[in-house]
Amino acid sequence: MVNASICTIGDEILIGQIVDTNSSRISVALEEIGVKVTRMISFGDDHDEIVNNLTNELTRNEIVITTGGLGPTKDDITKAALAEISKSKGYVTNEAQLKIVYEILHARGLDVLDINKAQALVPDTCEVIVNKLGTAPVMVFRFPASRFGHRATIYALPGVPFETVGAIPDVIKDIKAHEELTDIFHKCVMVFGLAESALSKEIESWEDSLPDDMHLAYLPNPLTGVRLRLSIYGGNKEDEEKRIDEQFARLRPILGDKIYSYKDDTLENAVGALFRGTGMTLSAAESCTGGKISSLITSVPGASEYYLGSVTSYAIAIKEKVLGVPTSRINEYGVVSSEVAAAMAEGVRNLTSSTYAVSTTGLAGPGGDEHNPVGTVWIGIAGPNGTKTVRKVYKNDRKRNIERFAAAALNELRLFILNDRN
C-alpha cells in the first residue's frame, strides 16, 4: 500500500481567509488509483516549519503532495524550503515554464518582470511538470530509500484551485508510472432516519463481526443521511466486492427500510427511482422549506417524467387561497400543525392531480415557543390510500434546519410509497 500526505501551505488558510478545496480534490484522485491518504495538514509560511513538517511527512509516507507557497511574492517561500530539503546546489530556469509565463502575461497585456521570470526558476534537484494554467510549475522531488527509510516523492503544486485541478491528472500519471499501486475497493449503503451515534449503536454487533481486513467509515450528511462505507485494500476486485456485498446483506434485517440505497446515492434519486416508469406523479407544497424540496427533486435528470410542480405557500393567505387550507383549521391548530400539513399536502395534490404530494410547515428559525420550538417541522404526505403526517424536531441553525426538513420530507415520502406497495 502506497501512503500519501497532503499538505496545504499558507497563512491565508490558517486564518480562514480562503477555504482549502485542494486537499479534497487531490484525495479523491489519489483514492481512485489506490493511494491511501493518511494525513491532511496545514501550516503557515514559515521556512523552518515547512522544512520540519515536510521532513516528518516524508518519513511517514511514500508520497507528499503540497499546495501553495509557490507565488512570486516574498511570503511564498515553499520553493526555498524544498530546495533545502532536497539539498539543492542552486536554481535553474525551466524554459518550457518560462515560455508559459510570457504567454500568460502577454495575453493579459502585462510586462514580464524579473519577479515573474523567477517563477520558472526551480531547484536543480527537481523535475518539472509544466503548469499550462499558471506561472508556477509543478515541482517533483524524488528521494532514495536511504534518505527517509523508503523511496519518497514530493509533488509541489500551486495553490490556486483551478491550477491545482489542472495539475492533478499529470501528477496522477506520474505516480502511476513510478509506484507499485494496490487497488482500494469501496462500497456504500445509504441510511436515513438514524443519527450517526444511534446508527452505531444499532449496528454494533454487525460492525464488531466484520472481517479484520474490512474498514468501516461513517460519513454523515444532513441531506443524504449516513453513508456507511466498507473498504478493502488490495485483493481481487470481483472477489472483494462480493465479500462486501455479503456483509451489507447482513445489514438489511437490522436496518430495514432505513437503507435507501446500496450505492453512493441521494434521497432525491431514491425517490425518483420509485416514480420512474410507473406513471405516478408528484407535487409539493412548501412553507418553511421555501422551495428546497422542489429544488432537490428537480436536480435529478428526468424528473420531468413524474414531477408536476410545487406551491411555495410561505404566507398564510397562499395556504388558504391557493391550497385551500381552511381558515378554521389554521385558527384552531396553528400554522405549524399536523392538521395544516395534511391540508397542504391534500390541497396541492388536488390542485395538480398528482398521485402523491408532500408538504412542510414548520419553524426553521428564529421564533418558536414551548409547543413548537425552533427546528420543528410537520411533514404531510398525501396519496391514493390516504394522508399521513410526521413531526420532526431538529436543533440546528436556520440553514441546516431547512436542509434537514427537506431531506426528512423526501424520506417520509419514500417510506409512504414503499408502504403503499406492500
Q: Give the Cα separation of 319 and 324 in Å (integer).
A: 6
Residue 163: the pLDDT is 95
Residue 107: the pLDDT is 94
Residue 239: the pLDDT is 86
- Is 90 exceeded by the pLDDT of residue 5? yes
Distance of CA 66 to the CA centre of its chain: 21
Confidence of residue 43 (pLDDT cuts 50, 70, 90): very high
The set of residues, in sequence order, having a beta carbon less than 8 Å from that of 31 and lying 6+ positions away, is 37, 184, 186
Alpha carbon of 61 to those of 26, 27, 35, 200: distances in Å? 15, 14, 10, 31
Q: Which CATH architecture has domain 267-421?
A: Alpha-Beta Complex (3.90)
Quickly name the fold that domain 184-261 has.
Alpha-Beta Plaits (3.30.70)
Q: Model confidence over 233-282: pLDDT tens digits?
A: 877 778 888 999 999 999 999 999 999 999 999 999 999 999 999 999 99
The predicted model gives 142-153 an average pLDDT of 97
- Give the start-to-end residue ranges of the domains of the chain: 2-178, 184-261, 267-421
Residue 238: the pLDDT is 80
Q: Model confidence over 189-216: pLDDT tens digits?
A: 999 999 999 999 999 999 999 999 999 9
The predicted model gives 111-128 an average pLDDT of 94
Residue 185: the pLDDT is 85
- Is 80 exceeded by the pLDDT of residue 76? no
The predicted model gives 139-159 an average pLDDT of 96
Average pLDDT, the chain: 94
Residue 189: the pLDDT is 96
Residue 99: the pLDDT is 96
- Is 80 exceeded by the pLDDT of residue 416? yes
Q: Is this prediction's pTM over 0.95?
A: no
- What percent of the chain clears pLDDT 90, i.e. is strictly above it? 86
- Is 80 exceeded by the pLDDT of residue 73? no
- CATH number of the 2-178 domain: 3.40.980.10
Q: Model confidence over 276-322: pLDDT tens digits?
A: 999 999 999 999 999 999 999 999 999 999 999 999 999 999 999 99
